[in-house]
Chains A and B, each alone.
Chain A
Amino acid sequence: MKQLVNLILRNLNKSAASFNLLKLQPSLLIASLFLLLVLGSQPVFSQISGITGKIIDYETKRVMPGVTIIENLPGNGTVSDVDGNFKLKIKGDMRELELNFIGYYALKFVNIPNENEIIDFGELKLVKNHLLNNSGAGIVYKLSESDKEKDQETRKNVVEKYRIEICGNVLKPYFDRNKIIFDFTTTNKK
């Protein structure tokens, strides 16, 4: 490709010097036009236009209605329906996606690549947060030792076993406070 571009530039210089484009080899002229056409018509990247998925509980496998799904907080978002399904039309340049439901760890996807126009996230499992699950609004926090132990067990289990496959990428999670993060830059291609 580099050689081809150099060749074109050399010929263009020649033609500019002689003010006579007809001196160009016909094959090179066609190649030049083809190259300009290809480079000019290709977008720099394709943009994600929509996402779909289904949300279930990590432990019980039950579907979860009422989960909020937000593109690049605090922007565009939706709520999962009675069957746990969601569809979201992407308005911006989606690089992050966050799923939230009270009493569960937020699920966050970061560095989402713009390789696919529509991404099907498949079945996404939300993990119960035993520490948050026993809190509430307007009441005193009650954290028991058994809650803390359950939380440690859950975290260990999730890090060891929870894997998500999206568009041929296998993602492993890590915890950041009350969020489970899946980073596309650390995925293994299948």
Chain B
Amino acid sequence: MKKLEKLTLKELGSELNFIGVVEAQRLNGGYDNDCFWRCVAYLQSGGASYTEASAEILALSYFGSDCGDYLSANGAGVTSPDIATYATNLAIDGNYHLDPSGAYIGMFNTNNISSYNATGMAHAVIVQCVNEDGSLEIFDPQDGSYTIIPSEEANYVSRAMY
């Protein structure tokens, strides 16, 4: 029997091939821009679970056998028509319930929100509440951060779901 050797991280790095983010997004489970599914996981679990794994389960249940094509096209991003279909399907099945706290999934172009890097990418977050001055208190399940979007930028945040 061959004796197994314990390698240091440096030795392991020289033995293995690494793949880049873009390539990882083309593989099932290689999630990155899964902001929408993380938000769905957050609200459906009452804020208990919003990990990459819980987001992946939701995405796979929606895209099913087309998942490979979907990941190739958009990484883990999701188009507006797909969000619309997802919400419609939940409503038809009687499984679409609003969060009792009033929290919902908001979506915006990062070019319009000063607290985010302007990448031109659309991003989904949890809008936890609207303050009296019109500013939005948001939670980002991708990095676990809390931010306030000022009232002058709040109009750029669309209600995507819930």
Report which A residues bind B (CB closer than 8 A). 64-66, 68, 70, 73-75, 77-82, 100-103, 106, 132-141, 177-178
Contacts and interface: CB of A to CB of B under 8 A. Distances in A.
B150 to A, nearest CB: 16
Contact of B97 (A79, A136, A137): A79
| Cβ-closest 5 pairs across A and B | A138-B77, A138-B33, A66-B91, A74-B102, A137-B36
A6 B121 CA distance: 71
Nearest to B136: A74
Nearest to A84: B91
A178 B158 contact: yes
B96 A102 contact: no
Interface string B78-96: 1111111001111110101
Interface of B: 33-36, 39, 74-84, 87-92, 94, 96-98, 102-104, 107, 109, 111, 119-124, 127, 129-130, 155, 158-162
Contacts, number: 122
Pick the most buried of B90, B130, B161: most chain A CB atoms within 10 A of its CB: B161
Given A79-B91, A101-B87, A102-B161, A138 B98 contact: no
A141 B160 contact: no
A137 B122 contact: yes
Q: What DSSP secondary structure best describes chain B's contact surface?
A: mixed
Pick the most buried of A64, A66, A100, A138: most chain B CB atoms within 10 A of its CB: A138
B124 A137 contact: yes
A135 B39 CA distance: 17
A82 to B, nearest CB: 5
Contact of B84 (A74, A102, A106): A102
Contacts of B81: 103, 133
Contact of A138 (B76, B92, B94, B104): B76
B102 A138 contact: no
A74 B134 CA distance: 11
B98 A135 contact: no
Nearest to A101: B84
Given A66-B96, A68-B104, A101-B87, 10 more contacts: A65-B88, A78-B98, A79-B98, A82-B92, A102-B159, A136-B74, A136-B78, A137-B77, A141-B120, A178-B158
A102 B80 contact: yes
Contacts of A79: 91, 96-98
